[in-house]
A and B are shown apart, each in its own frame.
Chain A
């Protein structure tokens, strides 16, 4: 049986509210996408129009070092860096559910690595060589309880860039 997505976020569709008045007791979600540290150039898919047409956000040129692995201050460690932030909470869900998230990323240059934080803790650093799909399984913390996932760019080179094409979430 094919799984149906619980929600999808992309740069062109950064907000989901799936509440359905006709079925108010069914699981639904409020989900948000934010990004920090975006870049544009003067040609090709680097332009704002190019990123719009590809439904992709490109962030870069301000990665954290590979040895920086914590979030101790939201302003310095998130907003002032190259970060994708997903925030969502399910309603009419329970701790018996799980969320399966599938992120679509792209490494572009400068030895980019994606640091995945769930809440404030780093759970994986994924090297990005080209197009990369990264799956994350998160236990549902309960009805209406929000989850934040941060994808922060890390590299030993200032030149690192990363594309974010979207995330699909499945409710299990």
Chain B
């Protein structure tokens, strides 16, 4: 096992900001990011809808 790598919160913040500036010039990443966000929102909505439907079904059966 290699030695533990650590990074301070300040360095992390600065490094992520620097990367974000680089990525602003990267059309491929901008496109991927938009697709990711869209897919994630769709997945969340789908899971919530399935869960709500199952919950409603359970409540309906309990009410019978």
List A residues at the B interface (Cβ < 8 Å): 17, 19-22, 24, 30, 32, 71-75, 79, 95, 116, 118-121, 123-124, 126, 132-139, 141, 145-148
Contacts and interface: CB of A to CB of B under 8 A. Distances in A.
Interface of B: 1-2, 4-9, 11-19, 22-23, 25-26, 28-29, 36, 40, 43-44, 47-48, 50-52
Given A32-B36, A120-B18, A126 B2 contact: yes
A74 B7 contact: no
Contacts of A24: 48
A75 B26 contact: yes
A30 B32 CA distance: 14
Contacts of B11: 121
B2 A132 contact: yes
Nearest to B8: A139
